[in-house]
Structure 1
Amino acid sequence: MNPFPLPYFRSLVAAMLLWAVPALAKPPVAAPLAKGPVRLQARQAARDFTTVDVDGRPVSLASLKGRKVLLMFMRNVGCPVCNRRVHELLEQADYFRAHNLAVVAVYESSPALMKQYLAGQAVPFTMVPNPDQSLYQLYGLEVSGAKAMASVFHGVIGKASQGKKLFQQAIEPDGNRNRIGAEFLLDERGTVAVAHYHRYIGDELPLADIKKFLN
């Protein structure tokens, strides 16, 4: 007996093509780690940067010393998987505030598109547009078509479906579809406690790990 019914097999192939076809049609420009900064590891100092948030206010990691920090490198504001993650974290906003956690979310998106995404939403996080991807390079993130395709086998279709329903309005993705994200937990001295480089799209740091870090 065939363990994979034909409708299931067709759905799996369709899901794989959803990621593979655009990648083949327009190959991404890779960002090899060997030619840029290497990945950070636990117990290393976080790489400081100075930039501005979506409203033009200065942002630097150095200014956050004395607080624990969740530094997130998202994809773009049109990414439904990222939108789902933001809403998941928003449900913990009071808990984060009570434990003095600063949340900094970096996106590939332009300031204009980020403002469109945030319109009508109360997001108590520091939202940083980084369309030139300089901060992604600083932290050794990558662009990988193979890892993006592998996401199909790790629940990305379901997460994308959930995230799509949470958008306040339709947002056109403006980043690299094969961008792979990362999340870092920094202690009060600016030292990396946890460095979580995603293995596929939607490979988020578990909330339980964040709460354990805060307690």
Structure 2
Amino acid sequence: MRLSIGDIAPATTLKTIRGEHLTVPDTSGRLVHMQFRRFAGCPVCNFHLLSLARRREDLEAAGIREVILFHSSHNEMLKYQAQLPFDCVADPTKQHYRRFGVETSGLAVLHPRVFWSGLRWVLTTGRFYNKAENGILGLPADFLIDWRGHVVAVKYGLHADDHWDADELLSLASDLCRGGGAGANQGSPTP
């Protein structure tokens, strides 16, 4: 079942690939940007996370904590996500994916943006994956969760490169701070 704005996100205790424990919601008052990505070596996902890592200071200044899940094993994630400055979590059984209504689709890799983002990752890093745990048809999903556990914005991606970028995320956080509420689309295609 998909979550909507205003729903209470499932209370979640997670263990990062660095062995740290965290809970969602974050009771320290920060917003949690909970991202569900695809497999650990996904070039599209990794290019996206590289762009977010470059904006880390902006995200932290806006009070946003990044929590990123992959449907891959701990060992596979260490190959690709160990250098990220975010909380990264392995969910190879997709337990949390099911709890948050994150799905798969045969259309996940058929959008032109998917090819372009993947190519940019390969050209930037020279890396390509050789294992796609749980397949290549996973869809991304983004949730912005407040300190009380309320989903204040949500996006279920329609293809592998359909997610919030840093500017969209910062705009959502800014709207919340101004009291305007967040009303992110729920799976609408982005240009």
User: TM-score range with shorter-chain normalisation?
Assistant: 0.7 to 0.9
Choose the corresponding residue for 2:157, options 198, 206, 214.
198
| 1:114 partnered with 2:77 | yes
Asked whether the equivalents of residues 83 and 164 of structure 1 are also in contact (C-alpha less than 8 Å), the reply is: no
Deviation digits for residues 138-171 of structure 1, max 9, x if unmatched?
11111211x22xx433421111101223447544
> Structure 1: which 4+ aligned runs deviate by more than 6 Å?
none
| 1:131 partnered with 2:131 | no
Structure 1 residue identity aligned to 2:50: H
TM-score normalised to structure 2 length: 0.83
Q: Which has the greater radius of gyration? A: 1
How far apart are residue 63 of structure 1 and its match?
4.2
- Give the gaps of 5 or more residues in structure 2: 175-191
Q: Aligned with 1:69: secondary structure? A: strand
TM-score normalised to structure 1 length: 0.74
Structure 1 residue identity aligned to 2:32: V
| 1:164 partnered with 2:125 | no
- For residues 213 and 182 of structure 1, the distance between their equivalents in structure 2, rounded to whole angstroms, comes to 15
- For residues 170 and 209 of structure 1, the distance between their equivalents in structure 2, rounded to whole angstroms, comes to 28
- Give the gaps of 5 or more residues in structure 1: 1-37
Aligned length: 173
The 5 A counterparts of 1:142-157 are: 142-145=103-106, 147-148=107-108, 151-157=109-115
Aligned to 2:180: none
Structure 2 residue identity aligned to 1:82: C
Aligned to 1:68: 31
More helix by share: 1
- For residues 187 and 139 of structure 1, the distance between their equivalents in structure 2, rounded to whole angstroms, comes to 15
Aligned to 1:59: 22
Structure 1 residue identity aligned to 2:153: V
Asked whether the equivalents of residues 117 and 169 of structure 1 are also in contact (C-alpha less than 8 Å), the reply is: no
